[in-house]
Structure 1
Amino acid sequence: MEYPKVSIIIPTYNRESTLKRSINSILNQTYKSFELIIVDDGSTDKTKEVVNSFNDGRIIYLYQQNKGACAARNYGISIARGKYIAFQDSDDEWLPNKLEMQLSTIRRTKSDFDICRMQTVENKEIVPSDTAINAGLNAQYIIGANFMSTQMLLIRKDVILAEKFDPSLPRFQDWDLAMRLYPKYKSSFTPFVLVKRYLMSDSITYNNNKAVQAYSILEKKYSNIYTKNPDRYSIYLYNKVKACGKSLSREEKLSIYKTSFKYKARFKTLVRIIQTFFGKE
């Protein structure tokens, strides 16, 4: 059996406290044919010392001036030597059989990329959700709501070289990538939780201002798709309010909910409109 090399890329910035756990979860993989590319995005803490504490020839340490996680991932992709690419975050943890199981799925289905499930440790939320799975994890569903995070992804190198990450996005780079992958390439799904995600107090997940910026960029970038899919655009707008949180005023939330309702009349959206109007949302 062929054992193709996998290039695993970790972008990291000032995560000396969690990076060791992340690296260990990769070194403990049951599948051993990999290289681990750690791209230090301008850290000012002891990130380099943490990396150097590991004595493993498969680890490659790269440093760049702070340009953001997307640029760091793209840098890692550009020097990767594996047939497949996987991504890890410096906060998170892989289960030991992640690579083995996903490669098995790709071999069996002859897919271009595969995603597994991921669970957030703090709130036990699992993605993709059962709703997304039952809907088919397809290009149509992804228009309205994201179900892919980079840590869940195993992808052929030639595919990710053709697509890469959009560094203009301050958040939702994974959603943007999924919007491009699902309509063009063959996907597969490994239906097991193989990633544990940890939310730090300064996690980008909590940055509502960046969510507002990212939603604006995505809406412009895929305006033609949303125009052709009013039902999914309605869901996209509904989810926008939740993601952007307190960075939206009551008037802005009300306007977005009304637009969502215009494109697809849903009872839950009507409820949100009423709650927001009376200041209870």
Structure 2
Amino acid sequence: MEIPKVSICIPTYNQIHLLKKNLDSILMQEYHDYEIIITDDSSDDIVKDFIASYPPAFKAKMKYYKNNMQLGSPENWNEAIRKSSGKYIKIMHHDDWFNYSCSLQIFVDLLDNDVEASMGFVSSRIVNSDNFETTRINTPDSSRIEHIEKTPEILLYGNWLGPPSSMIFRKLEFDQYYDPNLKWFVDIDAYVYLLSKKSKLAFNPIEAVSIGSSAIQVTKQCEHNKTVNLFEFFYFLEKWGISDITENELILKKACVLLIDFDVKSRTEIRLAGFKGKLPKNLTSLIKYVNSLDD
């Protein structure tokens, strides 16, 4: 059996009305050298029954796997990657979709045309999943991309690259997969890892994908969660060897924002969030400083 160039990995969980939009957008692609890996975290057979309605030739490209137990995010993503056989990995979350019939070709060209790139990405439309209205466009300028290539850790301040569905990467480069200890910063952690292998990004400004946004998404549930934010921020710093948060202006700004937004008064609150690793130097003085701003 011939190995496809691209594995389109779709970790699913219910919401078949959005999965339909996703699969229909794949069905219209002009580029055909792909397989579809569906790992299903749903509690019933709604996804399995739904995909049975597609034409036989399209279903032949699908490999469906029902998880024995719910894996959650990001392990369901990892499961799809583990089941894949393609040279390139194209994550497509079930609530995201391609905008054009040439979208997949655009992604493939990013890596085909730049062997030095660790991953390729495109501009993306952030779309309200309820009314399908575009709320914003995510597209970084060239200076921002250059900054990220040199210091990928600044993604901790803001994910200018976009979510996983706006990416394509080489499977051989991503041998550690998404970190199961993370949910909120899981995508930027993966980008930092990939850029540590090859510090080059390939980018096409075309808005080739739409990213569905809704209140029930894991990221929305994490966004204002004090425990998740504090644990993951300091876990990320330790993992990537950032021992002094004052050395990078953007990381320092992010630390200040977190400490202020979650009203952190002491290092104890960070420990209560579950972080047991080594805290960065100057943290105590930084906490005192941000709290003095209220005086």
Please indicate, yes or no, whether the TM-score normalized by the shorter chain is above 0.5: yes
1:97 pairs with 2:102: yes
Q: How does the TM-score come out when normalised to structure 2? A: 0.75
Number of the residue aligned with 2:71: 67
Q: How does 1:221-236 map to 2 (within 5 A)?
A: 221-224=239-242, 229-236=247-254
Match of 1:138, SS state, is helix
Number of the residue aligned with 2:277: none
Number of the residue aligned with 2:275: none
Task: Give per-residue Cα distances to partners, 1:182-216, cap 9 Å, x unaligned.
Answer: 23213211222111111122112321224444324
Structure 2 residue runs without a partner (length 5+): 129-133, 271-281
Match of 2:25, SS state, is helix
Determine which of 190, 200, 207 is the counterpart of 1:193. Answer: 207
**1:113 offset after TM fit, Å?**
1.6
Determine which of 170, 175, 184 is the counterpart of 2:197. Answer: 184
Q: How does 1:16-31 map to 2 (within 5 A)?
A: 16-31=16-31
Tell me which moved more, 47-56 or 25-34: 47-56
Tell me which moved more, 201-210 or 165-174: 201-210
**1:131 offset after TM fit, Å?**
8.1
What is the RMSD computed on CA atoms of the aligned residues? 3.2
Q: How does 1:108-127 map to 2 (within 5 A)?
A: 108-110=113-115, 111-122=117-128, 124-127=135-138
Letter in 2 for 1:118: S
Number of the residue aligned with 1:133: 144
Match of 1:23, SS state, is helix
Check whether the contact 2:246–2:252 (CA below 8 A) recurs between aligned residues. Answer: no
Paired residue total: 258
Match of 2:121, SS state, is strand
Check whether the contact 2:173–2:197 (CA below 8 A) recurs between aligned residues. Answer: no
Q: What CA distance in whole angstroms lies between the structure 1 residues aligned with 2:137 and 2:259?
A: 21
Number of the residue aligned with 1:218: 236
Task: Give per-residue Cα distances to partners, 1:46-82, cap 9 Å, x unaligned.
Answer: 1222222223210111111111132122222222111
Q: What CA distance in whole angstroms lies between the structure 2 residues aligned with 1:215 and 1:197?
A: 24
Q: What CA distance in whole angstroms lies between the structure 2 residues aligned with 1:71 and 1:126?
A: 28
Match of 2:242, SS state, is helix
Determine which of 142, 165, 170 is the counterpart of 2:178. Answer: 165
Identity of aligned residues (%): 23
Say which structure is richer in helix.
1
Q: What CA distance in whole angstroms lies between the structure 2 residues aligned with 1:45 and 1:129?
A: 40
Q: What CA distance in whole angstroms lies between the structure 2 residues aligned with 1:120 and 1:87?
A: 16
Number of the residue aligned with 1:6: 6
Match of 1:32, SS state, is coil
Q: How does the TM-score come out when normalised to structure 1? A: 0.78
Match of 1:168, SS state, is coil
Match of 1:189, SS state, is strand
Match of 2:95, SS state, is coil
**1:39 offset after TM fit, Å?**
0.6
Tell me which moved more, 30-39 or 143-152: 143-152
Pair 203,52 (structure 1): closer, same or farther in 2 beyond 3 Å: same
Task: Give per-residue Cα distances to partners, 1:79-115, cap 9 Å, x unaligned.
Answer: 2111111001111111232221122222222223211
Number of the residue aligned with 2:36: 36
Structure 1 residue runs without a partner (length 5+): 264-268
